[in-house]
Homo-oligomer: A and B are copies of this chain.
Amino acid sequence: MFVVLVYDTAAERNPLVLKTCRRYLHWVQRSVFEGELSAAQYRALLAALRTSLDLGYDSIRIYRTRSPHLVETEWLGRETGNQDSIL
């Protein structure tokens, strides 16, 4: 599946959330990750994030499609991100 993840977490938890997301996805923009994951990887990512978050305060929004080919992506302005830090 293709996953886009946007996090809005307290500053003190950002390093751990970033580290967890980088294990599974590409960083593309401030607070945005994307990438292709298997169902097992997706479950592992969510489980890892749940242990890192304060679920009453932090917020993560996730979008999934079956394939990246179903999604058109576009930049306006500066293209950020990188392609390293992937499983």
Contacts and interface: CB of A to CB of B under 8 A. Distances in A.
B78 A58 contact: yes
B76 A46 contact: yes
Which of A30, A63, A71 is packed against the most chain B CB atoms within 10 Å? Answer: A63
A58 B29 contact: no
Nearest to A78: B59
A77 B4 CA distance: 16
A44 interface: no
A22 interface: no
Interface in A1-49: 4, 6, 8-9, 28-32, 46, 49
Interface of A: 4, 6, 8-9, 28-32, 46, 49-50, 53-66, 70-80
